[in-house]
Amino acid sequence: MLKATYQTRGPVPQDLIEAVPFEKPELQAGQVLLEMLAAPINPSDVLTLTGQYGILPPLPAIGGNEGVAKVIEHGPGVSSPPVGQTVLLPVGIGTWASHMVADAAGLVALPNDVDPIQLSMITVNPPTASLMLSEFVDLKPGDWVIQNAANSGVGSYLIALAKIQGIKTVNVVRRESLVEPLLALGADVVLVDGDDLSGQVKQATGGVDVKLAIDAVGGSATARLGEVLSEGSMLVNYGAMSGESCVMPPTVIIFKDITIKGFWLAKWFQTSTPSQQQELYVYLIGLIAKGQLSAPVHGTYHLKDIKQAVALAASGQRNGKVVMVKE
């Protein structure tokens, strides 16, 4: 049994995390023992290690905030979920571990016959992408959306969800090598970011109105999205991959009447009802089960290689998600 733990936070995340052995815990009444199947490394996980995320667990901590596992043992008084059932790992449990203990009553059963790697990424990125498409602008089939960091986990889900809903996407990336992979995923337009982004978008789309911009980068990249938007549109920021504050010229905000809002999934969970949450996840799980929704995976790594995996996830030099697996 291994778990990836960290004792402190600092600027180099891979230096902080370490896979250490642990003994099988004794199960109490109402508990089950879980065996991890897959657990991704998200940008929020890296920011948690560096101390820059909005919610930080007390130290020492086990890394990871989402994933799926299999029930392998029942504690006293437990009959469900059955042994062998795939379940969604509770947020905050510390998912970068080969085994973990959880209360049986709070576990969400998932289909056993669906790829656990794809299911492992369902907690954070798919709902973020889905909600940003639905919560801010009343988009109709044929409407256009622009996003940067389009090769990210959220970006790839947004492309797929928009395609399902008939929404057109302009996808902004940082390097030419990402263009073809995103077109293959179903992106309508893929452009390399630059000072002439607005002109590129007009040329590629024929000058259509773009009603929603989704920004994960911040800095001057935010301003470039604002220049693309049509009058009275919305820009939603959900990240700052550049490490810089969002920049938006007053001329864009004032004369184009652009509204800027932020989105954080944790806040949505605080304000939404359990039925709204269930409805969203049933929808997303159904799409994954039917093969309509998936995310690119750069590679899978064993827990013993957690340092290498975190370094890769933090570097940005990847084409898809880094996912931890037990072995």
For residues 192, 193, 199, 204, the Cα torsion angle rounded to the nearest 10 degrees is: 30
Rounded distance between C-alpha atoms, residue 233 and residue 210, angstroms: 8
The three-class DSSP label of residue 212 is strand
Rounded distance between C-alpha atoms, residue 138 and residue 135, angstroms: 8
As a 3-state breakdown, the chain gives helix, strand, coil percent values, each rounded to 5, of 35, 25, 40
Place of tokens 């880094």: 322
Tokens encoding 155: 């970006």
Rounded distance between C-alpha atoms, residue 23 and residue 61, angstroms: 17
Count the Cβ atoms, other than its own, within 10 Å of residue 4.
Answer: 27
Q: Which of 53, 238, 281, 301 is catalytic?
A: 53
Sheet order of strands, 2-6 included: 17-21, 2-6, 61-62
With CA atoms as reference, report the closest residue to 62 among 102, 2, 117, 103: 2
Q: Is 53 a catalytic residue?
A: yes
Count the Cβ atoms, other than its own, within 10 Å of residue 177.
Answer: 11
Rounded distance between C-alpha atoms, residue 54 and residue 1, angstroms: 30
Task: Let me know: does 326 contact 100? Beta carbons within 8 Å.
Answer: no
With CA atoms as reference, report the closest residue to 48 among 98, 91, 108, 78: 91
Catalytic residue numbers, as ranges: 53
